[in-house]
Structure 1
Amino acid sequence: MSELLPLLMVPALGCTGELYAAQTAAVSDREVVVADATGHDSIAAMAAEILETAPPRFALAGLSMGGYVVLELWRQAPDRIGKLALLDTQARPDAPAAADVRKRMIELGEDGRLDMIHEALWPRLVAPNRREDRALEIVVRRMLQEVGAEAFVRQQRAILGRVDSRPTLPTITVPTLVLVGADDQLTPPDLAREMAAAIPKADLVMVPGSGHLSTLEKPDAVNAALAGWLVR
């Protein structure tokens, strides 16, 4: 029988624990903790702070920026992580074009222009058939507002300065789930395949009809994948 580890989840850029509301509700057999990743402008510092209050040993999941933190947590404390899930994320650093976009988002954040940030990001965050889903958009906008402009800028600076995690992937020795929306524009399926191929104990799950925010767009599919991963 699988060890009943607490589940620690790290949110994405501009997101709160609401990103994982459906997953938290579905996991009834163990403690679920959603980490705070808003207080630092480096991925390493985020991970170090999370470790200060995390359970002694835990299962670990992160989406997008949360995945960058997950990989850093593995580098800092592999002995404390029993399982690892990488959702809609990548191991590569930003390409120059992506870095330029991120710098523009930092400028908007420094000016407090959260509405402009949301309008720029929203079409790329979800699958094309969800762009007119106003209920979903309200959730995404609300999370960004709750994170706030200052924390958003810190997070963007942290992402911009992150290390290349590809050398880390072969060192991951625990059961690992790599999950990606089939319509993810920000971290496309090829990047998920790259990670899954490099991690010795990885299972790759593709979620049809989902973009980058799979936990919100297709919660049932993500819940099923997480349930299988947790009992591996």
Structure 2
Amino acid sequence: MPQRSSVTLPDGVRLHVEISGTDDAPITVFLLHGWTLDTRTWHRQLSGLQETLGTPVRIVAYDARGHGRSGGTSRAGANLAQLGDDLAEVITAVAPTGPIVLAGHSLGGMTIMEFAHGHPRFFALRVAGLVFISTTAEGHTHTVYGLPPRITRLIRLAETTGAGILARGGSWRVHRYLLRALAPSLRWLLFGDRCAPEDLIVTTAAVARAQLLAIGAFRSSVGEQQRLTTLAALGDLPAAALVGDQDRLTPPPCAESIAAALPNADLTVCPGAGHMLMLERPAIVTAALAQVTRAALGNPQDAPDLQAA
């Protein structure tokens, strides 16, 4: 079982942190969850990475501000630049030495890019590998929800208006009865061909813990971020970019542009999968984490075939 801990940020927000593995492991892997979600969406990687890797590894996962079991955020703190600063604080607190691999899903991937942009020297000194899962470096440029342009524009208008309303929701969370009604919509938006009932339960339970203010206030920052130039300056780090071909939020062009910006990035497109790859294709995600971690440790020859995972 992971060891539960916390990190208190300079502005007083307390982050819930879970740590697996021994302190003397040669490398630490950080798992960053998506917008409105929490560390539970990584549960299959938390249990499977050590076995797949076959080498001691320390795994750190934490709930972002305003999400999961972490403290709430102010509206001023609900932006990607702040999340990048938060990641720097967590690394300093729980993994002050040694190489690290950063893996981010959706908002988590954008957080990694913001950390690289805002803390370039720190990033260069510590980061030995990157895994980007169902994320983007181009805001909502490619987000069309799998729908015609006219309908996409209407949905974006409704989404932006709704985000503004939610941003005034303070510390309130989505009521569980409302989430039950929204479950079919979440299933359509976040999953591909198949969705196991337990995966939808994990996802809706995570959304239920997200602060309404965080759900709404992060929307503007997420939609506006442009970090391809930041990625292109990172050099030849071992990296992977994964996406589902039915992802309605961060479709394949998002992962393709990330992979194009990183010279050593392996691109994996998962047929039939949606936005929740850690749940929909756990073996492929875990294999990608293992492959990048091995390369970061200097053992790329042991990397598995992601397409066969």
For the aligned pair, the TM-score class normalised by the smaller chain equals 0.7 to 0.9
Structure 2 partner of 1:67: 109
Cα distance, 1:124 vs structure 2: 1.3
The 1:137/1:60 distance shift into structure 2, 3 A limit, reads same
Q: Does 1:23 align with 2:45?
A: yes
SS in structure 2 of the partner of residue 129 of structure 1: coil
Q: Does 1:222 align with 2:264?
A: no
Structure 2 partner of 1:85: 131
Q: Does 1:166 align with 2:228?
A: yes
Q: How does 1:156-195 map to 2 (within 5 A)?
A: 156-160=219-223, 162-173=224-235, 174-195=237-258
Question: One-letter code of the match for 1:31?
Answer: R
Q: Bigger shift: 146-155 or 39-48?
A: 146-155
- C-alpha distance in 1, partners of 2:285/2:270? 8
- C-alpha distance in 2, partners of 1:155/1:121? 18
Structure 2 partner of 1:231: 294
The 1:24/1:208 distance shift into structure 2, 3 A limit, reads same
Structure 2 partner of 1:6: 28
The 1:26/1:113 distance shift into structure 2, 3 A limit, reads closer
Q: Bigger shift: 97-106 or 111-120?
A: 111-120
Structure 1 partner of 2:4: none
Cα distance, 1:106 vs structure 2: 1.4
The 1:102/1:34 distance shift into structure 2, 3 A limit, reads farther
Deviations 1:96-120 (A, max 9, x none): 9475354244146345683366554
Taking structure 1 as the reference length, the TM-score comes to 0.87
Q: Does 1:32 align with 2:59?
A: yes
- C-alpha distance in 1, partners of 2:194/2:47? 26
Deviations 1:53-83 (A, max 9, x none): 2123411010111111011111223222111
Q: Bigger shift: 84-93 or 181-190?
A: 181-190
Cα distance, 1:14 vs structure 2: 0.8
CA RMSD of aligned residues (A): 2.4
Matched residue pairs, number? 227
SS in structure 2 of the partner of residue 82 of structure 1: strand
Q: Bigger shift: 174-183 or 60-69?
A: 174-183
Cα distance, 1:10 vs structure 2: 1.1
Q: Does 1:135 align with 2:183?
A: no
Q: Does 1:147 align with 2:200?
A: no
Which structure has the greater CA radius of gyration?
2
- C-alpha distance in 2, partners of 1:134/1:26? 20
Structure 1 partner of 2:157: 100
> Higher RCO, 1 or 2 (CA under 8 Å, sep at least 6)?
1
* Structure 2 residues not aligned, in runs of 5+: 1-24, 51-55, 66-72, 142-151, 296-309
- C-alpha distance in 2, partners of 1:78/1:210? 31
- C-alpha distance in 1, partners of 2:240/2:129? 8
Cα distance, 1:163 vs structure 2: 2.6
Identity %: 24
- C-alpha distance in 1, partners of 2:271/2:140? 25
